[in-house]
Structure 1
């Protein structure tokens, strides 16, 4: 028995064992006892997680995949969560305990998976996953890069992001049309920002929504004082600002 990949779920099943093992090995397993794999499919990555000294849970919305996992991974059966990761309240499983996230993510929801991880950052010290290559590179990119944007700044405010390796389409069934990239996020020691975090998110998103404009123009809606607008930082475009500068900018707007 095998599972048929479903287009509406964005499924591309990884078939290369060594890549699956490399992804599983990317986690340090330090600072937590549980790991949650998103979208395990037929368990190519799951089997390597189950060999580790950690409690593996999986969350899967596809009933056919769930049936396959229950039939082939008997000792995992009571840790299969048959839910949509984006809508499910994970405290029902983990309470307030820390856990890592890992997976070969469906491209169509990969950014949303990342945003939910950022919301749960107090519980997620480590995250390893496969994205579309260009998205993985964007998340890990630094200021000055053309692909540096909202995902880069918001992620790197709380996590150290490292691009690990590229995965070609040929190792998937069915093969996607683009390369994939695996990245690792390790939460920073101090992941509480010294500014209003909701305002920080708003400033970053507003700035990049008009990324070709200077901050003086793109952040008009924040009713900046003349004194603040005179600051040379407002002559810059958003991709020129490092994460720390966005934090400082948020503090300035907060205190004006």
Structure 2
């Protein structure tokens, strides 16, 4: 039995075993978690290398019923640890209150949404190793001052140290995607919470990048920014995470003065 790749689920099954092993071996913080969750295991190309690892217990979450049947048939020992559902509508707390490492070949059409879900649960996720569209992977790992640097770069780098590990060609998949793929690793940093209003920080970052060619003085007009700051004459891509935190603090202070 072979699982049919479904376009609406963004399925492209990795078939290169050496790359699959390399992805699994990229998980490095085993001492920080005893459970690993694989998102979208498909036919288990990563799962087969996760299961023998004595450092952690492997769980998977899969939305595709056909894949679930395949996994139960080929990995019967995994059956009690298969969550049939959508990661975007599910919480890690339904599985455990302990830290969980996350791994997966993320469906490219929902990878950003997966990361926003991880951000909400970041204190339970010490490490993420995943495959994404190369362009998105590069963007997430990109430093400030780079045209690839964007919303996800800032929001994820606020709480994770991120490494771009390696690229994967389309021929490693069945069916081959039309884009290149990349593997990145996120490791939780020491920032427990930001030194500013987090919801406002997210708004400032998103609003700043929505018109990324404009200076922040113009891009942030929807937020009613009227004070002076050295950052307002720069574009969003030029600001580091700490710069965005400082700018958010200034916006908070200006709002407080007006009230």
TM > 0.5 fold call:
yes
TM-score (norm: length of structure 2): 0.95
The alpha carbon displacement at 1:174 in A equals: 0.2
The alpha carbon displacement at 1:223 in A equals: 2.3
Conserved 8 A contact 1:24-1:45: yes
Q: 1:234 aligns with which of 232, 235, 238?
A: 232
Aligned to 1:141: 142
TM-score (norm: length of structure 1): 0.96
The alpha carbon displacement at 1:194 in A equals: 0.9
The alpha carbon displacement at 1:152 in A equals: 0.5
Aligned to 1:57: 59
Q: 1:66 aligns with which of 54, 65, 68?
A: 68
1: distance between equivalents of 2:180 and 2:229? 42
The alpha carbon displacement at 1:220 in A equals: 1.4
Aligned to 1:124: 125
Aligned to 1:43: 44
Could you tell me which runs of 5 or more consecutive residues in structure 2 were left unpaired when the two chains were aligned: 255-259
Equivalent pairs, count:
252
Conserved 8 A contact 1:60-1:84: yes
- The answer to whether the aligner puts 1:12 opposite 2:8 as a matched pair is no
Runs of 4+ aligned structure 1 residues displaced above 4 Å come to none
Q: Secondary structure at the match of 2:125?
A: coil
2: distance between equivalents of 1:173 and 1:205? 35
Aligned to 1:217: 218
Q: Secondary structure at the match of 2:171?
A: helix
Aligned to 1:107: 108
The alpha carbon displacement at 1:233 in A equals: 1.4
Aligned to 2:3: 3
Conserved 8 A contact 2:158-2:191: no
The Cα offsets for residues 193-231 of structure 1, whole Å up to 9 and x where unpaired, read as 111111110100000001111111111122234xx2x22
2: distance between equivalents of 1:89 and 1:174? 30
1: distance between equivalents of 2:192 and 2:169? 34
Could you tell me which runs of 5 or more consecutive residues in structure 1 were left unpaired when the two chains were aligned: none
Conserved 8 A contact 1:133-1:181: yes
2: distance between equivalents of 1:241 and 1:30? 34
The Cα offsets for residues 72-96 of structure 1, whole Å up to 9 and x where unpaired, read as 10110000000011011331111x2
Aligned to 2:257: none
